[in-house]
Amino acid sequence: MAAVKLKDFLRRHEAKDLLRFITCGSVDDGKSTLIGRLLHDTHQILEDTLASVTSDSRKWGTTGDLVDLALLVDGLQAEREQGITIDVAYRYFDTELRKYIIADCPGHEQYTRNMATGASTVDLAVILVDAARGVQVQTRRHAYIVSLLGIRHVVVAVNKMDLVEYDERVFKAIHEECVALIGRLGVPDVRVVPVSALKGHNVVTRGEGMPWYKGQTLLELLDSIDISRDQDLADLRLPVQYVNRPDARFRGYAGTIAAGELAVGDPVLAVPSRRMSRIKSIVTFEGDLQRAAAPMAVTVTLEDEIDISRGDLIVHPDRSPSVSRSIDAHLIWMSDAPLLPGKQYEFKISHRYLRGTVERIHHRVDVNDLSEHAADELKLNEVGLCRIVLAEQAAFDTYATCRTTGALIVVDRLSHATAGAGMILTSAAPQGVQHDVSVFWQPTRVTHGQRANQKAQHPCILWFTGLSGAGKSTIANATEQALFLRGHHSYLLDGDNIRHGLNKDLDFSDAGRVENIRRIGEIAKLFVDAGLIVVTAFISPFRSDRRLVRDLVGADEFVEVFISTPIEVCEKRDVKGLYAKAREGKIRNFTGVSSPYEAPEAPEIEIDSSKFLVAECVDRVIRYLEAQGRLKN
């Protein structure tokens, strides 16, 4: 009998709808306390856990004689010491109608990136407002991020009503301000409820503090909000997460259906390759199916052997997504190092990683008044609309259409850390140009190898880097002369010369330096394709920029020459007095003084010019090239 009851209970629990939501808002609005109250009043806390929290309340609590329910969520010692939430905390509970996953998000501005991470997978946001303080800057920031992330349901919980003597006029003023703010952001469903999380009024039960409020409690709102119609896209979207090839007889494409449905025999299109086939079978853990729909995890096999890789999309042929190399997207920047246009990043779209750059920042958004401002960079926690240019074609939808295929992640190529999160607004391909097919690399009849053989050399870039005064230009000049006298074909790109012409529009800010190196890298790549040995002399202070050029031409055609002369020697050689002016503050962004220099970690050649004559430095470079077989007889 007990086993039957358990089976019935598990069946009912499995059939319940799941709602994911976050609590967010400004610091000390009571987010953790509200979640603790929800767990406590729905009887989700075990007795020993409650006893432990009661004991901890005497040490860490901030609620006097009352149990500090926030300690149920704030588990980190640093959180308890400071009385704030630092990282996203997830909690789980259920009612008779629904199962819930709650993400308690930090309120501090410096942890906005944690909030954006927690909000990226939820269906609803509970934004708390302290009734005594009203709407804060961080409240507006979180509301804006919630709208960017496509969350369609927002419940504003006006908390700490007990601190304002449950004044109805205070609630109405905050109600009007929040509805106007969030409505202007385009969120279609906004509810407002007055609560006291500390006393438990209007959270799960009504309490006696606010007889003038006739609406639903917070839990009643959560139980009743309909999220079944939130996925508007009916078109098939199956991102390929894994190509399943256990043996020569089976090739399946595994993934979770993001939108729409598919059936055996349906015609399908693989994008971005645009190869067509039909569904042969739909394989799942429970067995083969004739039909499957979102959000099921499936493996599909096709009637034809076509090239499909991880990150590709399987769609219906007449309802395909956008395919382009250029994308306009809202980016939330999450890195301490600012976003710089021209710097190369990895962009993860669906399950595919693509190299690319932010070509330009259209504008930065001021979350206080939603005004738009020109910007050369995005700093930590800032939001901007950006033009992204990828190295390859990518398939995607707008974020408003489908979250899974309309979201992207920006990854720093050096640290591999997540640097930003993006919501795709639209394809940035020129109007009237379908799938961005107007620009392709055109192959020439004379090949790269033929040009190299004609010149009796293996082309490469000799990238001289080091501080100002290290001797880069002198050694690079002498190296090109030595190559010329030996009958080899080379060209010298010098930093000062380039800034007189091609790059005269660039300043010496971090963003200007990044774009300077990017342009030089593109020129050097063309010269290498022409069969030349390209000699460059640039400070190029950032490792990421030098890696960008290495990736452009390939590691086998990039030779990093680090002129590691100490800065003290460089200053003594400085006939122009640049170091002295920089130390006096007369020159801004001077490398080695007011701007950092990131020395190469593993250069192919390292030379301290203070220890060798110029001819000896050149000889070391030439001998390296000979040893590598780059200079043919």
DSSP reduced 3-state for 203: coil
What is the 3-class SS of 240-300, one letter each residue? CCEEEEEECCEEEEEEECCECEEECCCEEEEECCCEEEEEEEEEECCEEECEEECCCEEEE
pLDDT at 109: 66
Residues 117 and 419: their CA atoms lie apart, in Å, by 12
Question: What residues contact 214, with CB distance under 8 A and at least 6 apart?
Answer: none
CATH 2.40.30.10, applies to 322-432: yes
Q: Note if the pTM is more than 0.75.
A: no
Q: Which residues pair with 577 in a beta bridge?
A: none
Residue 189 in contact with residue 152, Cβ under 8 Å? Answer: yes
Selecting among 277, 350, 540, 609, the annotated active-site residue is 540
Does the fold of domain 448-627 match that of domain 12-224?
A: yes
User: In the numeric block, which tokens belong to residue 86?
Assistant: 């630092």
pLDDT tens digits, one per residue of 122-181: 889 999 999 999 998 888 888 988 888 888 899 999 999 999 999 999 999 999 999 998
Classify domain 448-627 at the CATH topology level.
Rossmann fold (3.40.50)
Q: Where are the domains of the chain?
A: 12-224, 238-315, 322-432, 448-627
- For 12-224, give the CATH class: alpha beta
For 139, the 3-state DSSP assignment is helix
pLDDT, residue 596, reads 86
- What pLDDT is stored for residue 60 in this prediction? 54
pLDDT, position 440: 47
Give the separation between CA 162 and CA 194, rounded to whole angstroms: 10
Query: Which of 295, 365, 298, 303 is closest to 329 using CA atoms?
Result: 365
pLDDT for res 385: 93
On whether the CB atoms of residues 41 and 14 are closer than 8 A, the answer is: no
Q: Is 490 a catalytic residue?
A: no
238-315: what fold?
Answer: Elongation Factor Tu (Ef-tu); domain 3 (2.40.30)
Q: What is d(CA 291, CA 261) in angstroms, rounded to the nearest whole number?
A: 7
- pLDDT, residue 4, reads 56
- Segments of the chain scoring below 70 in pLDDT: 1-7, 9-10, 12-13, 15, 46-88, 107-111, 231-232, 429-443, 510, 633
